[in-house]
Each structure stands twice: as structure tokens, then as C-alpha cells.
């Protein structure tokens, strides 16, 4: 923790915020390449990010209740998220609820957003994991490997303090958070490349991300020695990883569908389309949705980069077509 005048700057929170910004940037480029209005990711993020943080904290508290309740617990500590304790499973679940609410308001399918964000989430997780290093937490078993980690004996108010005159614990420890950083970046690359080749639709790219991440989380969890509840000989997070992996696998195998492309829908009150045409010409270089036909031939969609030279197109509005410039977003399936 550092202080900017009287404002505390916590590394853990900083890593999370940077991860969120990077994930939004990646998702924005991928969504725009598939016809979404410019910056619509921000309309989704204002719902998904707070819901994700709340869900992450709830999951942590549920799976580690002894830290906050009962003998020796500190109920007020439930709200001290800067001390660490955000569960990824709760973050994904809470974020999905928030994204669903936003998608309902925008008239965009949730599966469209899920596929766009699939390679962005593991990148955000990788950046956020560096917060565990700053927090002196989530390290693994003792090791003699040359990349073993020195661990501080104690942390108080964001600063390392000695215990019995020793600043560090004896020996070296597995940097499990670093293993997850590397794994997450590999998952992001895997999802990006396979989605680029096979054009996954209906949330299948997101299911692929879930499968790849949980496969790595299972073996990384095995190395960790931080306090955790166990069930049938395994840490609770291991069981959750197994269940989530199987659910994602079933979804990926059973659900089929082409990649969705958002297209504009004319205002039904405008029979001759003149209002939509006027809005299109007036909204030069503004947010817009491209047609499925134009997007299907857009080679830049391969890497998620938008083509700013495209002709201006209508702005997307809420489900009520009278709320704005005469168009509402619609999803169409198109092979790209």
C-alpha cells in the first residue's frame, strides 16, 4: 500500500482495476468487429463489474466462513476486500448476472457478449493475480526450485513486518499465483486462436474458456497451502473446478450455433425508413452496428480490430424502439 497524500493506493485493488480496463478494451474491439455499437462494453461493465466483485466476495465468505463468523471471527472483515479474498467462481457468476441485466436493457443476446469476453477474462485474471504477490498470499508448498518465492513472515496494514526478528519465512515456496498468470495467458491465446478458426457461437467460446481455465486451476490449487476448507480429501475449490469443467464441457458439446452478428432494425413507426436514414447520416463516426453482410466480409474481425473507415451506422438503443434514433439491435447468425 502507498499513500497519495491522504489517499491509500492498494496494489491489490490497482491490479484488479487494471485487469478490468484491459478486459473491457479487448472485449470492446471484439464486440465492435461483430457489429456492436461503439463503447457498448461500458454499458455492460457498469452492471457486470460491481456484480462480479460482490459475487466474488460472497463466494469467498461462503467458502471460508470461519474467517468472519464464530469464535475468533471478524464479521466486519467481510467488507475489507482490500485485504484479499475474491473468489473467481463468484466473480464469473456475479458478473454474468450483471451482464445479463445489461444485455436485457440493451437488447443484445448474452451469448454474444459471453463469446466476445471469453479471451479477455483470463487476461484480466492474469493481471489481477499479481495482486496476490503484493498481498503476500496464495503461495504454494515449499520448494527448492530456482524460481521459488521468498515469503514475508507477516503483513500489517499493507506493509511487511518481522516476526521474532525474521522478515521472511524460512526457505522458498511455489509461486502458484505466477503459475496461474502463465496459465491464464495461455488460455486467452487458446480461446482467441480457436475462436478465430472455428467462429464459435451461442456462448461456446466462453465454455471453452471455462474448460481451459478450470483444468489449470485444479492442479494449481493442489499446490497451494493457504487455509481452505476441504471435502472428501480435496479443497472445495478443486471440487468446484471439477463440477464447472463438466458443466462447460456438456454445454460445449451439446450446444451448436453460428457466430452472432448484430444488425440494425429499423424503427417500426418509420414506414419509409427516412428517419433511420437521416439518423445514419447525422451520426457520422459515432456508435453503430454494422450489417451481417458487411461484417461477414470483414477480415479484420479475425483479430478483433474494428475498421474505423466503415460507413456510419445507426446507434443501438434499449428494447423500446422509440427511446432513441430509430433502431434497435438485432442478432443474426452468420458464418465468418
pLDDT tens, position by position, 161-181: 889 888 899 999 999 999 999
Structure letter (DSSP) for residue 263: E
* pLDDT class of 291 with cuts at 50, 70, 90: very low
| Least confident among 68-82, 95-109, 192-206 | 68-82
Q: For all residues of the chain together, what is the average pLDDT?
A: 81
* pLDDT class of 298 with cuts at 50, 70, 90: very low
Least Cα distance to 106 among 310, 318, 277 occurs for 318
* Chain segment 216-273, per-residue pLDDT in tens: 998 998 888 887 787 888 888 889 999 999 999 999 999 999 999 998 776 555 545 4
Structure letter (DSSP) for residue 166: B
pLDDT at 334 (0 to 100):
53
pLDDT at 149 (0 to 100):
93
* pLDDT class of 300 with cuts at 50, 70, 90: very low
The top-scoring range by mean pLDDT among 104-113, 235-244, 295-304 is 104-113
pLDDT at 232 (0 to 100):
83
| Least confident among 103-112, 121-130, 271-280 | 271-280
* pLDDT class of 157 with cuts at 50, 70, 90: confident
Cell numbers given for 260: 452472432
Cell numbers given for 162: 518481522
State what percent of residues in the chain have pLDDT above 70: 78
Bridge partners of 224, per DSSP, are: 140
The top-scoring range by mean pLDDT among 86-95, 284-293, 325-334 is 86-95
How far is the C-alpha of 101 from the C-alpha of 120, rounded, in Å? Answer: 20
Q: What is the pTM of this model?
A: 0.77
pLDDT over 90 (residue 184):
yes
Distances in Å between the Cα of 89 and the Cα atoms of 56, 145, 219, 243, 276 are 7, 30, 16, 11, 43
pLDDT over 50 (residue 99):
yes
* Chain segment 36-95, per-residue pLDDT in tens: 999 999 999 999 999 999 999 999 998 888 888 878 778 888 988 877 788 888 999 999
How far is the C-alpha of 186 from the C-alpha of 191, rounded, in Å? Answer: 9
Q: How far apart are the first and last CA of the chain?
A: 47
Give the pLDDT mean for 104-119: 96
Amino acid at each position: 500500500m502507498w499513500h497519495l497524500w491522504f489517499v491509500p493506493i492498494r496494489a491489490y485493488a490497482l491490479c484488479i482495476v487494471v485487469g478490468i480496463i484491459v478486459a473491457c478494451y479487448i472485449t470492446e474491439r471484439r464486440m465492435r468487429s461483430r457489429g456492436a455499437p461503439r463503447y457498448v462494453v461500458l454499458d455492460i461493465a457498469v452492471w457486470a463489474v460491481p456484480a462480479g466483485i460482490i459475487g466474488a466476495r460472497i463466494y469467498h465468505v461462503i467458502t471460508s466462513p470461519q474467517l468472519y463468523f464464530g469464535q475468533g471471527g471478524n464479521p466486519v472483515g467481510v467488507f475489507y476486500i482490500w485485504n484479499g479474498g475474491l473468489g473467481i467462481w463468484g466473480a464469473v457468476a456475479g458478473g454474468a448476472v450483471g451482464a445479463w441485466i445489461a444485455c436485457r436493457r440493451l437488447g443484445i443476446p448474452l451469448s454474444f457478449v459471453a463469446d466476445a469476453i471469453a479471451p479477455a477474462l483470463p487476461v484480466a485474471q492474469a493481471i489481477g493475480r499479481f495482486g496476490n504477490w503484493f498481498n503476500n498470499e496464495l503461495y504454494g508448498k515449499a520448494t527448492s526450485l530456482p524460481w521459488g518465492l521468498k515469503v514475508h513472515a507477516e503483513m500489517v496494514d499493507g506493509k511487511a513486518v518481522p516476526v521474532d526478528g525474521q522478515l521472511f519465512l524460512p526457505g522458498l515456496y511455489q509461486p502458484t499465483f505466477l503459475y496461474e498468470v502463465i496459465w491464464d495467458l495461455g488460455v486467452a491465446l487458446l480461446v482467441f486462436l480457436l475462436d478465430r478458426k472455428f467462429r464459435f457461437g451461442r456462448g461456446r467460446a466462453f465454455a471453452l474458456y471455462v474448460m481451459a481455465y478450470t483444468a489449470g486451476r485444479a492442479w494449481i490449487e493442489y499446490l497451494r497451502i493457504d487455509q481452505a476448507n476441504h471435502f472428501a480429501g480435496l479443497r472445495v475449490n478443486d471440487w468446484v473446478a471439477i463440477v464447472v469443467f463438466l458443466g462447460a464441457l456438456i454445454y460445449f458439446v451439446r450446444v451448436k450455433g453460428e457466430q452472432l452478428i448484430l444488425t440494425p432494425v429499423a424503427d417500426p413507426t418509420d414506414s419509409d425508413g427516412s428517419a433511420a436514414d437521416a439518423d445514419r447520416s447525422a451520426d457520422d463516426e459515432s456508435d453503430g452496428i454494422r450489417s451481417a453482410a458487411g461484417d461477414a466480409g470483414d477480415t479484420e474481425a479475425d483479430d478483433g480490430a474494428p475498421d474505423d473507415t466503415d460507413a456510419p451506422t445507426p446507434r443501438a438503443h434499449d428494447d423500446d424502439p422509440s427511446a432513441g434514433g430509430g433502431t434497435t439491435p438485432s442478432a443474426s447468425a452468420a458464418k465468418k
